[in-house]
Chain A
Amino acid sequence: MLYLTRKAEFSAAHFYHNPGFTPEENQRIFGKCNNPNGHGHNYTLEVTVKGAVDPKSGFVVDLKQLKDVMSREVLDALDHRFLNKEVPEFFTKIPTTENLAIVIWQRLAPKLTAAQLHRVRVYETPDLFVDFYGEESPGEA
């Protein structure tokens, strides 16, 4: 098994708000991130795929294809967007870094055919990142 990681960057605006919470709860739980006018980040995305090395090409995956899928499925949809208002998944989900990693996984996984998606890592800042491996949590709410 061989692992290949491709990086990309995108910039987007978001805010955190759960309509099921009171304004006070939203403020207490989400703090500054609750400002409804939004704020933004320069995100760094790392997509790691895994697979066997093709004996003819020497590739795990055609990097050009991976770049194209990432551009089409992720960057075109998220870069320079207000996530809460323009990206359908975030009309209902809160656009936390956790949910961004999950949504990016869900956008990429069905489109990657040659290699298998291993990990999506999203840096919100250089000091905060989330990894998603497609894992489900056993049981708890």
Chain B
Amino acid sequence: MMTRILKAHLTRRYMFSASHRLHSNQMSAEENRATYGRCNNPYGHGHNYTVEIAVSGPVDNRTGMVCNLAGLDAFVRAEILDRYDHQNLNLLPEFANEVPTTENLCIAIYKIVKRGFHHAHLEKVRIEETMMNSFEYTGER
């Protein structure tokens, strides 16, 4: 027990608000309305999104931490919250050819964290679109 390195999982929750419209260029107007219903409204609508970033790793004996929380917060603020908060998701390049469903938003955020945050292993991105809907992406497994 003295020098064993133990592995812990840390999850941090963040919030942002954004608008979107669910509409696929690969479907007719009727198909879009049938598939997306009210979410197909051409004027768009918005949500308060809650994003959970879950990372894991060895607990550093010197700091007692999986990763420095201030570092994770700064990364998420710069790369995710500043990018998405109070924006129209449909106008962002990642949604030029993808429908901004919360599924695709999970994947987009997972890719940003995977690419840019290397202080711990990314386990999962979970997004609550409303209190009733949540989505999780754990990468390709």
A interface residues (Cβ-Cβ under 8 A, vs B): 16, 18, 20-21, 29-31, 93-99, 101-102, 106, 126-133, 135-137, 139-141
Contact = CB atoms under 8 A, between A and B. Distances in A.
Given A130-B66, A135-B8, A137-B59, 16 more contacts: A94-B64, A96-B59, A98-B59, A98-B65, A99-B59, A99-B64, A101-B8, A102-B59, A128-B12, A129-B10, A132-B9, A133-B7, A133-B9, A136-B4, A137-B5, A141-B58
Interface string B1-34: 1001111111111100000000000000000000
Given A102-B6, A130-B8, A137-B7, A18 B63 contact: yes
Closest 3 CB pairs of A and B: A94-B64, A137-B58, A96-B64
Interface of B: 1, 4-14, 57-59, 61-66, 68-70
A127 B1 CA distance: 30
B59 A97 contact: no
B5 A140 contact: yes
B63 A29 contact: yes
